[in-house]
């Protein structure tokens, strides 16, 4: 600029440097100037009103000759004026229109002569003006806007006119404008805004605006119209619906509309209309989910059934608790088994819980038989077994009157079908028949029932009832109910599977179905009006639609309460019935066994109800049950240990004593006697000790309680010491020199004898007039036991059948007695024998005191005194037989004693006495009073005592209760076999034929040889088992066979022992070796027989093989056995005398006999034997 002389010298020589942030305004103005210069087409006018600011720039431009300075006046304007064409005006007008300069644009269009654009621009200007004024003057703005709308409409600009009318709120007019221009979406929107919903929906539908159409229908509740559009769209479906293509979004829109429509009708309780829309859903799953969400299970059920989805429909019926409908649907689906079961369940709970019913028994209701018939009809489509099961269940539920035999057949069928429900209901019906029957209808069983099942079948098949059948069905039913309690106890644990069948019955019985709601188990009440439900607090009942349900805790609680009440109620009725029968039995003089049996049953039932963990008895019920227990305990002792000691033999007391309930009842008597406060009376002590001796071993806890009661100032040291030793605690007090070293078993036996002796002396010397002194029966029971204990140290003893039975009961659970103290205790038994005889004589001679003693014991003197005398005389006789002392028995000669004895007793005694009072005479006497003598060998020879009227028992041979039962009580054993229906062993002619070799007299005994040994015939029968022959008859007689095998072992053992002692002639060693082998094989056979029945079946082949081997030895050993038996004098005869099984076994006399009298007899016997042997030679 300096070079071109453009700079003004007057200006400062330096200028500020450029700074963008400081000179940003200058930059902006320079840019604007640049745009103005570069965009000018003809002339650029620059006008400034402040000359000082613009002069530098203007001077610069002047010097560069880029600008001209002119004075603005008319002449300049005229010189510059140039005429524009209409097109240029129109173009400028459009430009201005687009720039929203509507007023100038209108002038341009006016100059251009374009009426359309002139009006359009004016209308646009009015609309802009109206919008500008709306905030300040809405009314004036609307006037202006309406004017604009009219202009737009006049020139045919429908969109703008419609927009203006729409802005004015004239939606319907706007909509029609849009409709005329086919802008259907906007038209629909305007009609919708105008409230013309049907028109709007129709417009939307014409344009296939699916979503907008359905929204309008929803808004205007044009549900049917919307449904019509949907169906129409589906009928004319294409891949493209105009603006909206059919896809997932469209499906979603449609589903939302249909759900909204259905929900609207549901809210207005118009479910029929609702279902029109539900059925239009796109899938069945959507329909199910929607209806379930609204809990419209009824509508869903009908829908599923209409669609043929019978299983799904059945599940819904289950959720609704419509069990009959569910069963019908299951039948349609082909699930006949489940359908039949549901019909049976429905009949069961409706038979129990009809209005006004408290449950059992089953009752009739409408359609009951029809439903049962339908159950059978459905079951025909399943297996024959299932059809049979359903028919049985239907018959049980039909409630038709049936006799006992038919009901029992139903019970048996239910057991075959494994139907818990059938078993429980049938058993309850039979039990009710017992409880409702008159007492006179009961059949009295005066014998012990061994095979209860067989007895039951026989009785019920004849429509007869007994005490045994009553208790059997009570026990059967009770055990099933206890299993229901066990199910309820573990209902929410894994252990529930064990009792699931009982749980299912419990649910069905109460009319409850287990379902799941939100993964939680609920228990739906199919009959919420049932009586058992009334115990529930109504606040605990939950409702979901028609369903009423409770949670698991409240179900278990209420179900337990119901079954507790039911079990207690039935149990009480059974007890009342048993008590009535017990009292009735007193009218029958021969029904003592029935009375005892009733008492055991009363105790068993009452004790169960008292101690059951599942029952919560009230105080009143507890008192009632305790009364029943006391009724049993107060009377049972005197039945087991009767005043007439022979009555324990007259009936099946031996078997009854072996039952668990009898043992428990006697233990209860002990507990009640030791539970009384104060000093123990001799009466209490006597009862406790007698029961201990009569029970055998009892548990340690009870022993401890007994001993604890004997402690302290109220105790009784002599009896405490005896009980301690009896239960196994050895005492330290022994007579010096009486016991050998290291013989603990013998030491214990002697200690028991000593302490019992001391305790009885102490009791006898006590004041018998004190309250509850020991009763005569208890005292003599203990005296008889003392006599046995004192007698068996010599290796054998002789006693009465009644005393032996009592001793054997205790001995059965103890070890066999020892006979090793014979030499050491000779003096001691003499003292005891003298004490026993002295006591017996004193009681007899002191008649007045004895009668007073009886009376103080609350016993009828008239009836009991003769029995007491007879018992005392019998005791003295037994002392004589066991000691060899007191042979005169002078007391029997007293007239007042004779008159108390049975005539048959004294007649035999008087007739035979002159021939000496030996075993044979007394055996005949004891037989006359129905209490035969029993000769018990403990290892010593007893052959000198053998006689036809006595029973011989060898305790060295293993004797179980059953074996002894057959010896002591043959009639009972025979009755037992008759109940079981034992078959004869094949090829033996018959078991009884061999057993009853009763044709043999005493004279014929010596003619019996080895060929009569019974086992040969048994071996013939058993060898067939080796070849797999039917074992049925063998199994039923296995125990009889076992007894005979044991006897044969005993015989052969005796022969072998005598040969070793050289008391019989020498025999070839080879033959004796074969006899020894035979003995070993017999022992193997005995072991094979001495197992349970299942194991016995597995031993068949072994038994048959052993029998075959034994038979093969017969040709070699039979001749020598015959010879040996004749030499030995061994006799095996079993015959029946007055209904008593008498076994006689004569063996040579042992050298250890210690009675003077019997020594003579023994020597005489050996002498005779030697004479026989000599004559034979």
Lowest model confidence (mean pLDDT) among 563-577, 1017-1031, 1063-1077, 1109-1123: 1017-1031
| pLDDT-derived band at 733, boundaries 50, 70, 90 | very low
| pLDDT-derived band at 18, boundaries 50, 70, 90 | confident
Dihedral sign of CA atoms 142, 146, 151, 152 in order: positive
Residue by residue, DSSP assigns 844-865 as HH-HHHHHHHHHHTT--HHHHH
What average pLDDT score do residues 1091-1095 get?
66
What average pLDDT score do residues 876-891 get?
75
Mean pLDDT of the chain: 78
pLDDT at 993: 27
Closest C-alpha among 296, 579, 280, 972 to residue 288:
296
pLDDT at 1153: 32
- Tell me which of 1159 and 55 has the higher pLDDT: 55
pLDDT at 780: 93
Nearest-10 crossing angle of helices 717-726, 682-695: 10
Closest C-alpha among 659, 620, 589, 605 to residue 435:
605
pLDDT at 739: 35
- Tell me which of 199 and 764 has the higher pLDDT: 764
pLDDT at 84: 74
Give the distance, in angstroms, between the CA of residue 824 and the centroid of all CA atoms in the same chain.
61
1137: alpha, beta or left? (left if phi > 0; alpha if psi -120 to 50)? beta
pLDDT at 1174: 38
Q: For residue 1152, what are the contacts with CB-CB under 8 A and spacing of at least 6?
A: 794, 795, 822, 940
What average pLDDT score do residues 487-502 get?
83
| Cβ burial 386-409 (10 Å sphere, 16+ → b, else e) | bbebbbbbbbbbbbeebebeebbb
What average pLDDT score do residues 1150-1176 get?
36
pLDDT at 345: 95
* Three-state DSSP class for residue 35: helix
What average pLDDT score do residues 862-875 get?
89
pLDDT at 330: 94
- Tell me which of 442 and 233 has the higher pLDDT: 442
From residue 1069, alpha-carbon distances to 278, 823, 1128 in Å are 107, 36, 18
pLDDT at 730: 34
What average pLDDT score do residues 971-999 get?
35
Give the distance, in angstroms, between the CA of residue 277 and the centroid of all CA atoms in the same chain.
51
What average pLDDT score do residues 631-644 get?
84
What average pLDDT score do residues 333-342 get?
94
Check if the beta carbon of residue 443 is closer than 8 Å to that of residue 464: yes
pLDDT at 1099: 75
pLDDT at 1133: 30
Q: How far apart are CA 561 and CA 551, in angstroms?
A: 16
Q: For residue 887, what are the contacts with CB-CB under 8 A and spacing of at least 6?
A: 880, 916, 917, 1157
Check if the beta carbon of residue 599 is closer than 8 Å to that of residue 636: yes
What average pLDDT score do residues 1130-1145 get?
30
Q: How far apart are CA 1155 and CA 885, in angstroms?
A: 9
Helix H or strand E encompassing 1141: strand 1140-1144
Percentage of residues in the chain having pLDDT higher than 90 = 23
- Tell me which of 237 and 301 has the higher pLDDT: 301
What average pLDDT score do residues 765-783 get?
91
Q: For residue 89, what are the contacts with CB-CB under 8 A and spacing of at least 6?
A: 108, 109, 111, 112
Q: How far apart are CA 53 and CA 418, in angstroms?
A: 121
- pLDDT tens-place string over residues 576-628: 999 999 988 888 766 777 888 889 999 999 999 999 998 888 888 899 999 99
Closest C-alpha among 570, 574, 641, 583 to residue 603:
574
Question: If you count them, how many residues does the chain have?
Answer: 1177
- Tell me which of 184 and 459 has the higher pLDDT: 459
What average pLDDT score do residues 969-974 get?
53
Closest C-alpha among 782, 773, 757 to residue 680:
773
Q: CA torsion angle for 919, 955, 643, 648 (degrees, to 10)?
A: -110
Strands (E), 876-1002: 933-937, 951-954
pLDDT at 992: 27
- Tell me which of 110 and 1019 has the higher pLDDT: 110
pLDDT at 377: 95
* Three-state DSSP class for residue 68: coil
- Tell me which of 688 and 1060 has the higher pLDDT: 688
Lowest model confidence (mean pLDDT) among 135-149, 730-744, 953-967: 730-744
In the predicted model, is pLDDT for residue 1132 greater than 70?
no
pLDDT at 825: 53
In the predicted model, is pLDDT for residue 196 greater than 70?
yes
In the predicted model, is pLDDT for residue 539 greater than 70?
yes
Q: For residue 128, what are the contacts with CB-CB under 8 A and spacing of at least 6?
A: 100, 102
Burial of 327 (0-12, 13-18, 19+ CB in 10 A): buried
Give the distance, in angstroms, between the CA of residue 783 and the centroid of all CA atoms in the same chain.
51
Closest C-alpha among 747, 705, 716 to residue 730:
747
In the predicted model, is pLDDT for residue 1032 greater than 70?
no
Total Cβ atoms within 10 A of residue 1131: 21
| pLDDT-derived band at 483, boundaries 50, 70, 90 | very high
Three-class secondary structure assignment of 88-106 = HHHHHHHHHHHCCCHHHHH
């Amino acid at each position: 600029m300096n070079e071109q002389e453009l700079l003004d010298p007057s200006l400062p020589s330096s200028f500020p440097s450029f700074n963008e942030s400081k000179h940003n305004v200058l930059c902006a103005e320079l840019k604007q100037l640049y745009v103005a210069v570069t965009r000018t087409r003809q002339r650029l006018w620059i006008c400034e009103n402040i000359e000082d600011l613009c002069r530098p720039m203007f001077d610069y431009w002047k010097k560069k000759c880029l600008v001209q300075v002119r004075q603005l006046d008319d002449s300049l304007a005229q010189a510059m004026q140039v005429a524009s064409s209409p097109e240029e005006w129109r173009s400028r007008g459009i430009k201005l229109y687009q720039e929203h300069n509507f007023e100038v644009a209108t002038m341009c269009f006016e100059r251009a002569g374009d009426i359309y654009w002139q009006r359009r621009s004016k209308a646009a200007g009015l609309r802009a003006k109206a919008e500008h004024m709306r905030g300040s003057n809405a009314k004036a703005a609307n006037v202006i806007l309406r004017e604009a709308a009219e202009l737009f409409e006049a020139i045919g600009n429908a969109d703008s006119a419609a927009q203006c009318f729409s802005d004015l709120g004239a939606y319907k007019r706007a909509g029609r404008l849009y409709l005329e221009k086919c802008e259907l979406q906007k038209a629909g929107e305007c009609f919708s805004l105008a409230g013309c919903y049907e028109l709007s929906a129709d417009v939307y539908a014409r344009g296939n605006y699916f979503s907008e159409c359905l929204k309008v229908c929803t808004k205007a509740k044009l549900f049917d119209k919307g449904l019509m559009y949907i169906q129409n769209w589906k009928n004319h479906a294409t891949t493209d619906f105009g603006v909206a293509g059919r896809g997932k979004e469209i499906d979603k829109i449609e589903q939302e509309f249909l759900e909204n429509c259905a929900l609207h009708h549901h809210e207005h309780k118009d479910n029929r209309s609702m279902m029109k829309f539900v059925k239009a859903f796109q899938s069945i799953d959507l329909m199910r989910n929607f209806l379930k969400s609204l809990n419209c299970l009824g509508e869903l059920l009908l829908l599923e059934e209409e669609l043929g989805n019978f299983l799904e429909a059945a599940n819904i019926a289950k959720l609704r608790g419509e069990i009959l409908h569910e069963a019908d649907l299951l039948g349609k689906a082909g699930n006949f088994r489940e359908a039949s079961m549901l019909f049976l369940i429905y009949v069961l709970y409706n038979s129990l819980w009809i209005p006004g019913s408290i449950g059992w028994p089953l009752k009739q209701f409408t359609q009951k038989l029809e439903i049962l018939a339908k159950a059978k009809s459905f079951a025909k489509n399943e297996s024959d077994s299932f059809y049979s099961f359903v028919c049985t269940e239907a018959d049980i539920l039909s409630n038709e009157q049936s006799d006992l035999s038919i009901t029992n057949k139903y019970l048996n069928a239910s057991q075959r079908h494994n139907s818990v429900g059938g078993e429980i209901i049938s058993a309850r019906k039979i039990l009710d028949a017992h409880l409702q029957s008159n007492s006179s209808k009961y059949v009295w069983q005066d014998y012990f029932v061994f095979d209860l099942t067989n007895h039951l079948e026989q009785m019920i098949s004849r429509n007869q009832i007994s005490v045994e059948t009553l208790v059997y069905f009570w026990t059967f039913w009770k055990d099933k109910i206890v299993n229901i309690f066990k199910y309820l106890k573990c209902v929410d644990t894994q252990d529930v599977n064990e009792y699931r069948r009982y749980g299912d019955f419990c649910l069905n019985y109460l009319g409850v179905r287990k379902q799941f709601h939100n993964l939680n188990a609920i228990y739906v009440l199919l009959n919420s009006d049932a009586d058992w439900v009334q115990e529930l607090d109504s606040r605990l009942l939950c409702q979901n639609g028609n369903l009423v349900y409770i949670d698991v805790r409240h179900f278990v609680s209420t179900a337990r309460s119901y079954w507790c009440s039911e079990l207690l109620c039935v149990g009480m009725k059974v007890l009342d019935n048993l008590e009535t029968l017990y009292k009735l039995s007193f009218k029958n003089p021969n029904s003592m066994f029935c009375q005892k049996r009733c008492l055991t049953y009363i105790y068993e039932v009452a004790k169960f109800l008292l101690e059951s963990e599942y029952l919560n008895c009230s105080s009143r019920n507890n008192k009632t049950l305790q009364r029943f227990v006391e009724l049993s305990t107060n009377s049972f002792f005197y039945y087991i240990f009767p005043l007439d000691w022979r009555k324990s033999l007259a009936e099946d007391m031996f078997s009854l004593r072996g039952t668990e309930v009898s043992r428990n009842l006697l233990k209860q008597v002990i507990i009640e006697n030791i539970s009384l406060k104060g000093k123990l009376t001799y009466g209490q002590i006597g009862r406790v000790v007698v029961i201990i001796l009569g029970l055998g071993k009892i548990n340690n806890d009870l022993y401890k309680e007994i001993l604890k009661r004997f402690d302290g100032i109220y105790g009784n040291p002599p009896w405490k010491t005896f009980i301690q030793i009896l239960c196994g605690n050895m005492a330290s007090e022994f007579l010096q020199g009486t016991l050998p070293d290291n013989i603990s078993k013998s030491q214990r036996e002697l200690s028991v004898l000593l302490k019992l002796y001391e305790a009885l002396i102490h009791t006898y010397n006590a004041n018998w007039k004190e309250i509850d002194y020991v009763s005569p029966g208890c005292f003599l029971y203990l005296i008889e036991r003392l006599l046995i204990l004192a007698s068996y140290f010599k290796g054998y003893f002789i006693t009465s059948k009644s005393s032996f039975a009592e001793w054997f009961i205790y001995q059965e659970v103890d070890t066999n007695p020892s006979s090793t103290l014979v030499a050491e205790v000779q003096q001691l038994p003499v003292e005891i024998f003298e004490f026993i005889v002295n006591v017996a004589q004193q009681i007899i001679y002191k008649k007045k005191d004895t009668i007073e003693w009886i009376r103080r014991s609350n016993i009828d003197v008239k009836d009991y005194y003769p029995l007491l005398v007879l018992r005392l005389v019998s005791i003295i006789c037994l002392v004589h037989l066991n000691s060899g002392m007191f042979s005169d028995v002078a007391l029997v000669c007293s007239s007042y004693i004779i008159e108390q004895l049975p005539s048959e007793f004294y007649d035999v005694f008087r007739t035979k006495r002159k021939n000496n009072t030996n075993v044979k005479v007394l055996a005949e006497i004891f037989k006359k009073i129905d209490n035969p003598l029993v000769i018990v060998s403990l290892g010593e020879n007893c052959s000198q005592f053998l006689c036809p009227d006595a029973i011989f028992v060898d305790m060295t041979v293993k004797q179980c209760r059953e074996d002894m039962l057959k010896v002591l009580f043959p009639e009972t054993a025979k009755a037992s076999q008759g109940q079981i229906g034992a078959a004869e062993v094949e090829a033996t002619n018959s078991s009884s034929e061999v057993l009853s070799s009763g044709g043999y007299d005493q004279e014929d005994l010596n003619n019996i040889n080895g060929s009569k040994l019974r086992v040969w015939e048994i071996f013939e029968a058993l060898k067939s088992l080796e070849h797999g022959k039917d074992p049925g008859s063998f199994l039923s007689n296995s125990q009889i066979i076992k007894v005979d095998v044991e006897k044969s072992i005993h015989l052969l053992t005796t022969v072998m022992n005598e040969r070793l002692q050289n008391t019989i002639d020498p025999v070839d060693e080879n033959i004796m070796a074969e006899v020894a082998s035979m003995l070993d094989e017999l022992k193997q056979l005995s072991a094979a027989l001495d197992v349970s029945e299942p194991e016995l079946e597995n031993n068949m082949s072994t038994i048959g093989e052993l029998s075959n081997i034994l038979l093969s030895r017969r040709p070699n050993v039979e001749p020598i056995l015959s010879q040996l038996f004749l030499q030995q004098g061994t006799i095996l005869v079993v015959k029946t005398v007055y209904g008593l099984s008498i076994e006689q076994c004569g063996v040579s006399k042992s050298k250890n006999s210690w009675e003077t009298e019997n020594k003579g007899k023994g020597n005489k016997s050996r002498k005779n034997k030697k004479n026989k042997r000599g004559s034979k030679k």
